[in-house]
Copies of this chain bind each other. A is one copy, B any other.
Amino acid sequence: MSTARSGVGRPASIEAPRETILANAATLFAANGLERTSLQDVARAVGLSKAAIYHYFPTKTDIYDAIVSDLLDTLYHRVLARIGEAESPSEQLRLLMLEHADYFEEHYSQFVTLLHGVAGLGRRPGEAEVRVRDRYEALVRQLVEAGQATGDFAGRDPVLATRAILSLLNWLSRWYKPDGPLRARAVAAEYFEIVHLGLCRR
């Protein structure tokens, strides 16, 4: 079946090394965090040596950055494509939250890596990450503001309303259990109801 196994001296070989490394690293980062995950751990999970990992990524941080940037980029485009189907801003917001939850569930380790992979708030994220996070936040805010313009929503502070929505979705990564009975989508649907009603009346 497998073409090779990491043994005593025989060079191993795997397919799609970059993606395999990223997937395994995300699982480890999500469980133990970036700092407590050694490259040795990653290498062992992948089935390569430490030095082989360095062939694909110059530093451990680059692995982390690749996971995060891949995730944020795909999330944005998937959500954007999905909400195009809806007409009213409130329906768009609902679809955004549902699609976000689905995507979260499919890429649980990557989300946890993004949101809880590095401890402490002092780390300055790369400007690319900041840009793509801001873009996503702006998307939500535009929906809220559009809802206020059409009268779907009442005039709450759109910045704080946006933060509330994203807080719910982000902290879902702490409540959610991959093996639990609750689907992320179901939680997000309930959250939407709460927020939606809260936004409707002043």
Minimum CB–CB distance from A120 to chain B (whole Å) comes to 4
What residues of chain B lie closer than 8 Å to A194, measured between beta carbons? 156, 161, 164, 194-195, 198-199
A200–B196 Cα distance when bound, in Å, is 12
**Contact yes or no, B122 A191, CB < 8 A:** no
Please name the residue on chain B nearest to A160 by beta carbon. Answer: B190
Would you call A39 an interface residue if the criterion is a C-beta within 8 Å of the partner chain's C-beta atoms? no
Query: CB < 8 Å: which of B29, B170, B172 contacts A120?
Result: B29
Number of identical protomers: 2
Query: CB < 8 Å: which of B30, B34, B37, B197 contacts A198?
Result: B197
When A and B form their complex, which 10 residue pairs have the shortest distance between CB atoms, in order from nearest? A33-B119, A194-B198, A33-B120, A167-B171, A35-B35, A31-B122, A198-B198, A119-B119, A197-B198, A32-B120
Instruction: Please list the residues of chain A having a beta carbon within 8 angstroms of any beta carbon in chain B.
Output: 29-37, 112, 116-123, 156-157, 160-161, 163-164, 166-168, 170-175, 187, 190-191, 193-201
List 30 A-B residue pairs with CB atoms under 8 Å apart, sorted by A's residue number. Answer: A29-B119, A29-B120, A30-B120, A30-B121, A32-B122, A32-B123, A33-B118, A36-B120, A112-B120, A116-B119, A117-B119, A121-B173, A121-B174, A157-B190, A160-B190, A160-B191, A163-B175, A163-B187, A164-B194, A167-B167, A167-B172, A168-B168, A171-B171, A194-B199, A197-B197, A197-B198, A197-B199, A197-B200, A197-B201, A198-B198
